[in-house]
Structure 1
């Protein structure tokens, strides 16, 4: 039953990221769009939903069985983003963002895998920062800023977020073997980036203590 709950929580998290991607695509101003996109992650952390890029960093502090939870989370996130993409594609708002999402998907799929990996590492670091600040800091202001600013930074910088890209690829209708490989590479990059700070804390903070 717990695994089923995790899966549905992950679907909801994927839907939140998909809705964030939708509002981002609807905006002409990238700063405004990136700010509104962050509502998706803010919803995830407030309701403690399962988002892969928000949970991967805590692998450093968990038992190996946590890997199964991460796998379930990744699959649920994909289902959630695909569901939102399907809904948007079959609504009146898709026409206004079709060209934009096609261009976004094309840029990502024309990039080298090593480049995608490096950009995903940066995003993974920012996502861990956002989630960990919300979890461990006190005060609503710092917690809110801690979520919104890292999201805006990764979007405006062009860093790669695998769950957001699942949504963009689904909305653009460009799934292929190459696209799936790109998603795997970005998953690895987000994972490495998300683990950098936690591994440092696990190793060096323990020694200092």
Structure 2
């Protein structure tokens, strides 16, 4: 069993409203945990790719892409506030006028900050100080981080848009399914796609580029520039394109259809009297 596309819009609005009304403490805890899950998924991806023979070529990227989605799957199933997912649900609630712009802005800001705390914390404590990404894995860590910051601002922005179309589709499909297995596979496929394509995700980059900084391959200025343009791209992809499109289709468009239908069904005699 699953929700229909029209039911999904209502569900997204309901969830977005609930998220916007979370206390600061709840937002902080769930935001940090989301960053931790994404960071740990990044560790697993780098370790997987770093241990594969170079001769395997693009198959190495495929293996990494299949590993990474477990981070989003975990936070969606056990609880977590991820800013890229909230760009869909909380923005949908804003479109539905069930929250204010101030509530939307507060959620975007707080969740971004606490996602950074969680993701950067994993890079520092579970990647660097634990030596998990040191030694034989330093080269792969730097290569992945440099791949993130290699894009020019426009490229990073456009990559961020494409990324969050896929990420929010994964969130949406997870939301649609009512069973455990369906939620897992609904999330797995779009996330694998964005990783294979190399699109940029702001929270993943919080971990990956921080790990690259600690490994000595990336600078703080590159980090800051990347996060800004990727965040904006993610917002356009999840908030404007995905949330906007489905809200227009199932809320604005269907409301107009219902209004027109009601006008057609109006009593002809009543219509004549009104025109006299």
Per the normalisation by structure 1, the TM-score is 0.94
Tell me, yes or no, if structure 1 residue 208 matches structure 2 residue 254: yes
Choose between structure 1 and 2 for higher RCO, CA contacts under 8 A separated by at least 6 residues: 1
How many residues align structurally?
209
* Structure 1 residues 159-170: aligned runs within 5 Å: 159-170=199-210
CA contact (8 A) 2:146 2:212 kept: no
1:47-78, CA deviations, whole angstroms, 9 ceiling, x for partnerless residues?
23101111111213232212201211100010
SS in 1 for 2:69: helix
1:91-141, CA deviations, whole angstroms, 9 ceiling, x for partnerless residues?
232223211121122222232111111111111101111111111223333
Tell me, yes or no, if structure 1 residue 71 matches structure 2 residue 109: yes
For 1:141 and 1:110, how far apart are their aligned partners in 2? 37
For 2:136 and 2:84, how far apart are their aligned partners in 1? 29
CA contact (8 A) 1:26 1:96 kept: no
Match of 1:90 in 2: 129
> Which structure's CA Rg is the greater one?
2
CA contact (8 A) 1:129 1:150 kept: yes
For 2:148 and 2:121, how far apart are their aligned partners in 1? 21
CA RMSD, 1 decimal: 1.5
Tell me, yes or no, if structure 1 residue 48 matches structure 2 residue 75: no
Structure 1 residue runs of 4 or more that deviate by more than 3 Å after TM superposition? none
Match of 1:132 in 2: 172
CA contact (8 A) 2:145 2:211 kept: no
For 1:34 and 1:8, how far apart are their aligned partners in 2? 27
Per the normalisation by structure 2, the TM-score is 0.72
For 1:137 and 1:153, how far apart are their aligned partners in 2? 19
Structure 2: tracts of 5 or more residues without a match: 1-21, 53-59, 256-276
| Offset at residue 175 of structure 1 (A) | 4.2
For 1:134 and 1:194, how far apart are their aligned partners in 2? 15
Partner of residue 177 from structure 1, selected from 221, 224, 235:
221
- Comparing 132-141 with 155-164, greater Cα deviation is found at 132-141
For 1:141 and 1:47, how far apart are their aligned partners in 2? 14
- Comparing 110-119 with 18-27, greater Cα deviation is found at 110-119
For 1:119 and 1:187, how far apart are their aligned partners in 2? 10
Tell me, yes or no, if structure 1 residue 14 matches structure 2 residue 31: no
SS in 2 for 1:168: helix
SS in 2 for 1:148: helix
